[in-house]
Structure formats: C-alpha cells, structure tokens
Structure 1
C-alpha cells in the first residue's frame, strides 16, 4: 500500500469514540480491521486516556455531580502475511459501563424513608468487556478480498453494578463469528469494506446479587446477556492529489441485545433498555510531506430523545470532531489524535419519580499509536 493510500487512516482506530453507557448500547470500541491492509508483517499499539465531563443534578438540586468515570482504553494488533493470505490478531476494549451515580446522594439520603428524595437513582458501575479477535483475510485478486474470524468477548469477574435497590456482580464470555469482504482500486486508493457480526447469546453469562455490597452475594437464576448484531461499512477514496476522503457507517441492533438480571429473593431485578443505533463518520486526510500526513473527521450518532426513564442513559446522542496526525520514519509510524465530543442533553425521570438532568456535557480523549512494519 502506498503512503497515499494510508494518509486517511491517521485518526481512524486511534482515538476510541468517547462513549458512555446510553440507551444505544454500551460500546467502548469497535473492531478496527484497518491494520489487516498493511503490506507484509505489521504490529501496532495504541492508548487513549478519556476525560468525561458528564455531570447531572438530581431532583433539581443546584449542585452537579460527575456521573461518568474517566477511562483509559488501549489496543494491540499484529498481522502476518503468507502470500495471498493474511492472519491477524487484535485486542481492544469493546464495552464499558463506568458510572459514579451512587456518589451523587445528597446529605440525609435514605432509600427506605421519605428521604429517598435526597438519593440519586443513577447507578454506580464498573463493568468492562474486552475483545480478542483472530482474523484471516484472503486476496482473490488485487481488487477483491474476503475476511473471516472469531471475536472472543469477555466480561471480567470483578464487574459490578450498584443501584438504590441492590448490588450486582456479573461475568461471562462468548465467541462471536466475524466476516466481511472488501473491494479495492489501488491507483485511486479506493477501498470499500463491509464487516458483520451476528447477534449471539453470551451462553455462560452469570450474575450474583445482594441488597448491598457489604452483604454476601448469591447466585441469580435466569440471567441473560446478548452481543448485538452489527454491520459496518468502511470506505476511503482519493479525491485529489495527496487528498483522501474516508468514512464509515455502523449499525448495531441493540434492541434485541439486552442485559437482564431477574429478581433474586428480596433483591430487585435490573436490566437494560437499549435501542438500535446507527453511527456515521466521515473525514479528509492530507499528505503534506512524504513523512507527515494529517486528518480531520466528524462523527455523529442520534439519540433516543430528550427524555428518558432509563437510569443508565447519560446522553441524547453525540457529535464528535477528531483531529489526527501521522509521522513515518523508516519502518515505524507514530500517530496522535485529539477527540472532542459534545453529548446531547437529556432529562431522566425514573419510575420512582427520582430525576437527573444532563446538560452541556463533553468528553475529550487524546490517543497515541505506534506501528511497525516488518
């Protein structure tokens, strides 16, 4: 692949889209297959600290509390070439629910009395899902290739959620098939790629619950979790000398991929109410010298509306600007990118009548990636 064909990729896959748990699912990062199109052997490592300025005030109080935790998301990928067949491995954080809502209680909060009006209905959570994907790509010609593999999703045993009604621990793992195809025209740096994953039940998902984190948990019966069906269209094409247009469209069927933890004795049930989502991104890449290129892109995702009854929803969609740069030296590339996200305002009114108001919130991230060809 020529440098011209690569210039639009400086920001893609570098800075994880600054996402929080929302009615549209709990994506933290998506499968980035761009490393599979490098010539020969290639490996890369990236990291992106994310600062969430996502705050809300409860029941109309003037004091705002930070509801979403800061995170650091890292990824690793390696790819080997064997003639017309490429094999790749990529590790990344695919899901995260990182909340601090139970620290937003006002003084005197007591869920068992009328003082519940001083409590926050927004949960606290520390749930991460990591992915390890093995991919194979076969080139039928310079123009057409297919890709297939398996993506292992894993929710660690230390994952937990705390609500006003109880404390919940979750864990599990599942392997999901991945497949796709690409069409390329190297003389104009054109590549159109379609990647899909089917909806899959997490067959060994387990949950435990208790009335509080200080009380021993007991096993829940009938819990379930699903990985959503996703389809991603990635594209890039040269539009002028040393200038590349690139973008993507991703559709995720979250409505049929809910998390459900049933009642366990005196411990209430808890579950998600995710909605389907479609996200869009597009941008321009420019090669300034043989060594340095840059890119700018815009991404957006519609929300579920300006009001919600779901205590896990912190936003009504988002709009994101990404700026990236890439420097090449011999067989090494060093990339950096800045991501700024404006989240949509949303008013939460829970069935308990407790509320939370999210306004004028932002998320920023700075990413670094180093890659080596061999």
Structure 2
C-alpha cells in the first residue's frame, strides 16, 4: 500500500483549526508538520475562533458573552537543500488572549468600562534537519518570539477603584530567543510517520506601565518577567487501508509554573496578574481519506485538560472536547486548498481573582474555522 506524496498531504494538518482554543494562553499548537513534508514546500493559512463564554457572578447576576472573536495567520517554507539536509522557517502566533466584559456595573464592569485583556505573540522558528537515511530525520533550531499585552480590571470583583478595580497595565512588545529539537521516523511505503518535538521555555523581560484608580495613580515604568512555557508535541500517523490514514497528536505544555507578576500590582494586592495551577495535556485523533485524485477529507475528535480550576477571570474555561471536519481540494498534484470547521464544548470553570472565586461559567461553546493553501516546488 504505497501512498504518494499527495496522499500523505491529507495529514499535512488535521484541519487548520486544530488548536485555536486550548488551555492557558495556548493557540496555535506549534506544529512543525510543514517541515516534515517531502521535497520543497510552502504554505500559508489563517484560523478563526468564534467563542461564546457566559456565566454568573457570585451575586447570581448574569455575565454576558465576554469572549472576543479572534484570528491568527500562519506560514511556513521548507527546502530540501540536499539528499540529507533540509532547512525551513515557520511563522505562527503560539499564545494569546482576547476578551472583553460588558461595561455594565457589577462584578466585572464599573458602568463605563469592562474588564478586558489582549495578549499577542509572534514566533519565527528556523529549522535545520539531517536525514541520515530515508527513515530518520533529526532537527533543531532557534526560535525568535515577541510578546506584548494590555489588561484592564474593572468592577466589584477586584474591589472597585479603591483596590485594583481601576487597574491598567501595558506590557510593551519585547523579543527573546529559545530553541527546539526533535526527531522523526517514517516508513513511506505505508505512510507511517512519528515525530517528537521539544520546545524550550522563553524568558522575556518586558517593560511595564501600571496605573491605579482609573489612571489617577501612575507609576514609573518597571520590568516584568514573562516566561512562555516549555512544551512537547508527539505526532503520529499511519496508513490503515487503501487511501486511508489514522493520525494522532498529543501535546504537553508546562503551564503549572507560569505566572505574570507585575511589581506594583504584587506589592499592592499580594497577587499575580495571571497564573495557572496545572499543566496542559491535549490530544486529537482521527482519520483522513482520499476520495479521488482531487478530493480528500478528515474527521477528528479532540480533548484538552485545561490548566487548572479555578481559573483566571481573563479566560474562564477549563479545557474542552471537540469534533472537527476538514476537506482538501487538489487541482494538481503539487498544490492544494484546505478548509475546515471545528465545534468545541468548553469545560465549566470558576473564575477567581485574588484567590477568591468571583463567578461561574458553564455550558459554553465555540466554533473554529480555518483555511490553508499549500504548494510543492
């Protein structure tokens, strides 16, 4: 059952929306699947998440949808420089957050403004791989990463303006470096492929601006340490029947030691701005099938453990279950277009601030969408 390169491209990615919603601040899932494609290859894609996260505060008042829609692009190029050496670049946005509570006066708003958060990251990963035989690929490379964020806390859950309910923080964009390393094993005749990839933590020293009392108390800029977590990805696939592949992805992220602790906020409230209590474990398993020369499809189910409960009020869900469907159209053997959709059942969670539960968020859902174009040359 020898599968051609276009057959194996069914699993280039499950669907572009595989990891648009995950524990902690995890977004992209940090896949390197493009680098493991045969020959020379380039791709570009975009993923969109449309969540709906509602709940109740401790007084029983309804909290309207606080989750903002967001999208993020990705791109990659891989060059097979020689029979044994390959090089590549991968761009993604691995971590992020985007939420905005209602301005209504209550636990998370003061009548004029609502609690909100925006976190953005960018990653560029450079890879070099060595293939001593057809079966093995050992790879490593540096990672360039930028981080920036802004957060506003409003409402009674944070003690109002007299405490931290009028707190704002801006973390200026800053860059730092990390690294990754891994290996892959494959048997092309049966479309068998297994890859293990480790990514290091990356430490940032971010210039920080903090204000209290709705801007009445302004502090000089300081420095906040933010360490994005180390992670391990395990990717598996194998042909199981003619034109049919089974696949799985398992991911671990070390969120249990993650914390953002601005100096002035810590001194005034004795609390972190964001932290998590557990590591994230996630998995996705499914099937890909090639229907004819131009069309193929995938179906998969996914699970994410979350990063602990109670959780931060800035992201009040704990993990998820999901189901996804994707399709791929290949007008010619050297290029294709992918699209997919995924539905998420979000885990119930209690949202806390200052070590106290401020509300409960239950029975929430999300839709993910994605599209990707790939080209072999």
CA distance 1:348–1:136, shift in 2 (3 Å):
same
Q: Given that residues 201 and 226 in structure 1 are in contact (C-alpha distance below 8 angstroms), is that contact kept between their aligned partners in structure 2?
A: yes
Aligned to 1:259: 260
Query: How many angstroms apart in 2 are the aligned matches of 1:324 and 1:260?
Result: 40
1:88 to 2:91 alignment: no
Query: How many angstroms apart in 2 are the aligned matches of 1:149 and 1:187?
Result: 29
Q: Which has the higher contact order (CA 8 A, sep 6+)?
A: 1
Q: Helix, strand or coil: the match of 2:9?
A: helix
**1:176-233 Cα distance to aligned partner (Å, 9 max, x none):** 111100000001100110000123322x322210015655854454521112111111
Query: How many angstroms apart in 1 are the aligned matches of 2:67 and 2:142?
Result: 31
Give the one of 278, 303, 306 matched to 2:306: 303
Q: Given that residues 262 and 270 in structure 1 are in contact (C-alpha distance below 8 angstroms), is that contact kept between their aligned partners in structure 2?
A: no
Query: How many angstroms apart in 1 are the aligned matches of 2:316 and 2:242?
Result: 43
**1:251-276 Cα distance to aligned partner (Å, 9 max, x none):** 11111232211226986564222121
Q: Helix, strand or coil: the match of 1:249?
A: strand
Q: CA deviation at 1:290?
A: 1.6
Aligned to 2:127: 135
Q: Helix, strand or coil: the match of 1:163?
A: strand
Q: CA deviation at 1:340?
A: 0.8
Q: Given that residues 8 and 294 in structure 1 are in contact (C-alpha distance below 8 angstroms), is that contact kept between their aligned partners in structure 2?
A: no
- More displaced 10-residue stretch of structure 1: 86-95 or 55-64: 55-64
**1:17-43 Cα distance to aligned partner (Å, 9 max, x none):** 2326xxx42111122211112233221
Q: Given that residues 191 and 238 in structure 2 are in contact (C-alpha distance below 8 angstroms), is that contact kept between their aligned partners in structure 1?
A: yes
Query: How many angstroms apart in 2 are the aligned matches of 1:87 and 1:332?
Result: 20
- Alignment RMSD, CA only? 2.7
Q: CA deviation at 1:10?
A: 4.8
Residue ranges of structure 2 left out of the alignment (5+ in a row): 155-163
CA distance 1:59–1:199, shift in 2 (3 Å):
same
Q: CA deviation at 1:107?
A: 10
Query: How many angstroms apart in 2 are the aligned matches of 1:181 and 1:60?
Result: 53
Aligned to 2:147: 155
**1:94-145 Cα distance to aligned partner (Å, 9 max, x none):** 11121113635349966xxxxxxx999x841111111111111221110001
1:372 to 2:375 alignment: yes
Q: What number of residue pairs does the alignment pair up?
A: 358
Residue ranges of structure 1 left out of the alignment (5+ in a row): 111-117
Q: Helix, strand or coil: the match of 2:87?
A: strand
**TM-score under structure 2 normalisation?**
0.87
**TM-score under structure 1 normalisation?**
0.87
Query: How many angstroms apart in 2 are the aligned matches of 1:219 and 1:339?
Result: 45
Query: How many angstroms apart in 2 are the aligned matches of 1:147 and 1:258?
Result: 30
Give runs of aligned pairs for residues 261-300 of structure 1, distance below 5 A: 261-263=262-264, 268=269, 270-274=272-276, 275-300=278-303
Aligned to 1:113: none
Give runs of aligned pairs for residues 1-374 of structure 1, distance below 5 A: 2-12=5-15, 14-19=16-21, 24-83=23-82, 84-101=84-101, 103-106=103-106, 123-156=115-148, 159-164=149-154, 165=164, 166-171=167-172, 172-202=174-204, 204-211=205-212, 214=215, 217-221=218-222, 223-263=224-264, 268=269, 270-274=272-276, 275-303=278-306, 308=310, 310-330=312-332, 331-351=334-354, 355-374=358-377
